[in-house]
Structure 1
Amino acid sequence: MPIAYYITHPQVRIDAKIPVPEWGLSDIGRARAVAMLDQPWVGSIGRIVSSAERKAVETAEILAKHLHLEVEVRERMHENDRSATGFLPPPEFEAVADEFFARPHDSIRGWERAIDAQQRIMDEVDAVLGTGLTGNLAFIGHGGVGTLLLLLLDSRQISRVADQPAGGGNYFAFDIGARRILHAWRPIDDRAPDHVI
């Protein structure tokens, strides 16, 4: 049973003067990505596919160096497009994110609609999985579209109830053949035993 792991980048260095897609990992985020390498499931990964955003690529490169793999970058795996607002202070961002998940058919303050972001990330995952896989792989991406993907694979309505824990640096796993969730979000640096949801 080949497994796909959807991994979100951990903490980033926030800089309101730099476009969000260009933010890199913070020292804490980088340390957590390195700690992920001790996870028992990491060694099974034979392919790494990443969003093109800097924070995702940096996370993917840490994993790829450890596993002696190349990073495949897919531009359309980016986070939901929030360029209409750019950086928002955390309380304002959380309020807009709440609306994004609560009203998936609407563009909230010019953001990409949740239903469109969900279809885009599913299309990207399907494109990768349609290339004749033989083993486990990792998708490195973002919490918003990752949550939308998890919900779709789990046949659930769009809502924020399944959002990843704050701070990023989480992962979920799904059975590639059955397109079935094996477990929901877990911290990348948590050595909890495997179990299904």
Structure 2
Amino acid sequence: MPRIARYLTHPEVQIDSLIDIRHWSLNAKGRARVAALAASDALRGTRHVISSDEVKATDTARPLAQALGADLWIRPALHENDRSATGFLPPDEFERTADRFFARPDDSVRGWETARAAQARVVGEVHRLLAQIPAADDAGDVLFVGHGGVGTLLYCALAGLPIDRRHDQLAGGGCVFAFDLPDGLPHGPWAPMESLIA
């Protein structure tokens, strides 16, 4: 059977407007969701966990890698789309800005990294990382842990879809999609992480 790669987004975070968003950690609900996934055998066979270096992503990846006895790689290039030009935005304002980010992929919306550039970065990094993992039969599955924005851009690229927020993850995060290796074709759209356990 072909090996599987999965892309999992971090679940709910502790929002603090006084802290750089790259340093936000998971809140109690997010930690509980990760703990439930770690306690299941849903990801059995995963040998490599590869995470963005943002705290909310590593808060998700570390317990899973530990439970699986898997290698954990931290890769800065898997970070969320660069929003440092605005920093924290109130939820309604953030959603409006994110809508524009996806709708105008070649434009820098309010100084954000463009969607096209973020897509090229994350797709390129995923391919580079997968090329570093041996293709032997016992190489196991791969779990990427990251963020909803760039995860959606990756999904669009793999599925051959134009950049569009219609393909975004479900509200609340903690969503996953899988794709076969080596062809990279997604099995389907985003699903809640709990769907792996059910």
Corresponding residue of 2:42: 41
> Which runs of 5 or more structure 2 residues have no equivalent in the other structure?
none
Aligned residues: 193
- Computed over aligned residues only, the root mean square deviation of the Cα atoms, in angstroms, reads 1.3
Contact 1:33 1:189 in 2 (8 A): no
Corresponding residue of 2:22: 21
Q: Distance in 2 between matches of 1:105 and 1:162?
A: 18
- Larger mean CA deviation between 34-43 and 103-112 belongs to 34-43
* Distance apart, 1:184 and its partner CA: 1.5
Q: Distance in 1 between matches of 2:196 and 2:72?
A: 25
TM-score (norm: length of structure 1): 0.94
Return the letter of the residue paired with 1:106: D
Question: 1:175-190 maps to which residues of 2 (within 5 A)?
Answer: 175-190=180-195
* Distance apart, 1:179 and its partner CA: 1.1
Corresponding residue of 1:72: 73
Q: What does the per-residue CA deviation read over 1:109-132, in whole Å, with 9 as the maximum and x for residues that have no partner?
A: 000000000000001100111112
Q: What does the per-residue CA deviation read over 1:39-93, in whole Å, with 9 as the maximum and x for residues that have no partner?
A: 5531121100000000000100110111122320001100000000000000000
**1:182 aligned counterpart, secondary structure:** coil
- Larger mean CA deviation between 177-186 and 21-30 belongs to 177-186
Q: Distance in 1 between matches of 2:153 and 2:173?
A: 15
**1:28 aligned counterpart, secondary structure:** helix
* Distance apart, 1:183 and its partner CA: 2.1
1:148 and 2:153 equivalent?
yes
Question: 1:44-59 maps to which residues of 2 (within 5 A)?
Answer: 44-59=45-60
Q: Distance in 2 between matches of 1:44 and 1:24?
A: 27
Q: Which runs of 4+ in 1 moved over 4 A?
A: none
Corresponding residue of 2:111: 110
TM-score (norm: length of structure 2): 0.94
Q: Distance in 1 between matches of 2:116 and 2:84?
A: 17
Contact 2:99 2:165 in 1 (8 A): yes
**2:188 aligned counterpart, secondary structure:** strand
> Which runs of 5 or more structure 1 residues have no equivalent in the other structure?
none
Contact 1:48 1:140 in 2 (8 A): yes
Corresponding residue of 1:135: 140
**1:7 aligned counterpart, secondary structure:** strand
